């Protein structure tokens, strides 16, 4: 790639596509507000309404006056920013097969997605409920119990069953496979799995696997919930190509900004899991 062929909007779109493919956490949260970001430090206003009352109806009787709905506004701050800045030497550029610059841009996308997912994983501290399960190594049925209890915790808060997800560490997924409750290699569903960590469906949950789950003492803090739990917005800004002054090379730098906030803690359950007893 030469600088003459560098079109920022095209490469930003390609980077953003890589981000979407590589994300785990950002694929299960509410991303309706991404179009409102123009710069790092922006504040995105999330507007919603309160509950609507339901009353008994009596034939031939006037109904009550319409109630005024409560307006609820939440501010989502775009307070996270990560950048990349890499170069490809002219000699490497002349010899590259396949294109090194394109591969490097994909690696940048993977790294940025990983950083954003690590940030989102930290919201386990805001969950309304906590479930603890240990010794998955010797009791693979714990994985089924884990999801059943997560579903119960959401049901108790009247959280809709549509769009439920759970993000687990690899050892919990292994327990699911060994217990025979998750599709294994060779099945139609397993062969259609996404490369970004989606591993199937179980008990009404889309099941995702991630290495970005936070440590909670000697446990992993897995998460279950729905898209209504967390609002998230991201944007790729300031994609630039340039020639470093002291190098014979092409370089590219870019800025990825994002922000997230728990907007419905009732739709989020923390799952403390541990491989051993």
Contacts of 19 (CB under 8 A, 6+ apart): 26, 109, 112, 113, 116, 234, 236, 256
Q: Which of 81-90, 93-102, 186-195, 223-232 has the highest mean pLDDT?
A: 223-232
Residue 187: the pLDDT is 45
Whether the full predicted model's pTM is greater than 0.95, yes or no, is no
Within this chain, do residues 253 and 151 fall inside the same structural domain, yes or no?
no
* Residue-range definition of the domain harbouring residue 134: 127-229+266-274
- At 187, give phi and psi (nearest 5°): -80, 160
Whether the CB-CB separation of 24 and 208 falls below 8 Å is answered with yes
Within this chain, do residues 85 and 188 fall inside the same structural domain, yes or no?
no
Within this chain, do residues 83 and 31 fall inside the same structural domain, yes or no?
yes
Give the range among 43-52, 55-64, 154-163, 247-256 with minimum mean pLDDT: 43-52
Confidence check: pLDDT of 2 > 60: no
Within this chain, do residues 144 and 80 fall inside the same structural domain, yes or no?
no
**How many domains does the structure of the chain reveal?**
2
Residue 56 belongs to some domain of the structure: no
Rounded Cα gap, residues 190 and 266, in angstroms? 31
Within this chain, do residues 19 and 97 fall inside the same structural domain, yes or no?
yes
Rounded Cα gap, residues 258 and 272, in angstroms? 27
Rounded Cα gap, residues 191 and 198, in angstroms? 11
Confidence check: pLDDT of 158 > 70: yes
pLDDT tens for residues 27-70?
A: 899 888 766 677 888 888 777 666 788 888 898 898 888 887 77
Residue 247: the pLDDT is 87
Residue 168: closest CA among 176, 160, 158, 180: 176
Rounded Cα gap, residues 166 and 189, in angstroms? 18
| DSSP label at residue 193 | -
Residue 16: closest CA among 260, 239, 247: 239
Q: Taking phi first (over 0 means left), then psi (-120 to 50 degrees means alpha), and beta for anything else, what does residue 113 get? A: alpha
Confidence of residue 5 (pLDDT cuts 50, 70, 90): low
Within this chain, do residues 35 and 164 fall inside the same structural domain, yes or no?
no
Within this chain, do residues 184 and 239 fall inside the same structural domain, yes or no?
no
Rounded Cα gap, residues 70 and 63, in angstroms? 20
Residue 191: the pLDDT is 45
Provide, for the chain, the percentages of residues in helix, strand and coil under a 3-state DSSP scheme, each rounded to the nearest 5: 30, 30, 35
The partner residues of 255 in beta bridges, in order of sequence, read: 83, 237
Within this chain, do residues 7 and 31 fall inside the same structural domain, yes or no?
yes
36's tokens: 């409102």
pLDDT tens for residues 124-149?
A: 999 999 999 999 988 888 999 999 99
Within this chain, do residues 108 and 210 fall inside the same structural domain, yes or no?
no
Rounded (10°) CA dihedral 268, 265, 160, 68:
-170
Residue 114 belongs to some domain of the structure: yes
Residue 60 belongs to some domain of the structure: no
| DSSP label at residue 203 | T
The partner residues of 220 in beta bridges, in order of sequence, read: 215, 273
Residue 47: the pLDDT is 72
Rounded Cα gap, residues 200 and 194, in angstroms? 9
Confidence check: pLDDT of 93 > 80: no
Within this chain, do residues 155 and 270 fall inside the same structural domain, yes or no?
yes
Confidence of residue 96 (pLDDT cuts 50, 70, 90): low
The mean of the pLDDT values for the chain is 85
Within this chain, do residues 93 and 11 fall inside the same structural domain, yes or no?
yes
| R_g (Cα) of the chain, nearest Å | 23
Residue 62 belongs to some domain of the structure: no
Residue 171 belongs to some domain of the structure: yes
> To the nearest whole percent, how much of the chain has pLDDT over 90?
45
Taking the alpha carbons of 96, 194, 168, 115 in that order, is the dihedral positive or negative? positive
Within this chain, do residues 118 and 175 fall inside the same structural domain, yes or no?
no
């Amino acid at each position: 790639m030469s600088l003459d062929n560098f079109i920022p909007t095209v490469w930003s779109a390609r980077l953003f596509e890589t981000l979407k493919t590589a994300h785990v956490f950002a694929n299960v949260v509410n991303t309706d507000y991404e179009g409102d970001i123009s710069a790092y430090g922006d504040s995105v206003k999330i507007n919603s309404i309160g509950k609507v009352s339901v009353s008994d109806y009596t034939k031939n009787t006037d109904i009550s006056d319409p109630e005024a709905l409560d307006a609820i506004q939440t501010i989502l701050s775009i307070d996270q920013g990560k950048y990349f800045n890499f170069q490809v030497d002219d000699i490497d550029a002349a010899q590259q097969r396949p294109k090194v610059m394109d591969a490097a841009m994909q690696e940048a996308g993977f790294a940025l997605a990983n950083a954003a997912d690590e940030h989102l994983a930290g919201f386990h501290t805001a969950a309304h409920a906590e479930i603890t399960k240990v010794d998955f190594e010797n009791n693979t049925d714990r994985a089924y119990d884990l999801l059943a209890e997560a579903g119960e915790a959401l049901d108790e808060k009247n959280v809709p069953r549509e769009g439920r997800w759970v993000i687990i560490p690899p050892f919990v997924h292994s327990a699911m496979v060994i217990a025979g409750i998750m599709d294994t290699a060779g099945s139609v569903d397993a062969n259609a799995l996404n490369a970004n960590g989606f591993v199937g469906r179980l008990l009404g949950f889309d099941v995702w696997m991630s290495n970005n789950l936070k440590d909670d003492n000697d446990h992993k803090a897995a998460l279950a919930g729905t898209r209504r739990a967390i609002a998230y917005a991201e944007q790729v800004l300031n994609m630039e190509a340039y020639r470093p002054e002291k190098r014979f090379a092409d370089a590219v730098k870019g800025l990825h900004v994002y922000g997230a906030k728990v907007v419905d803690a009732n739709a989020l359950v923390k799952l403390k899991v541990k491989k051993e007893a």
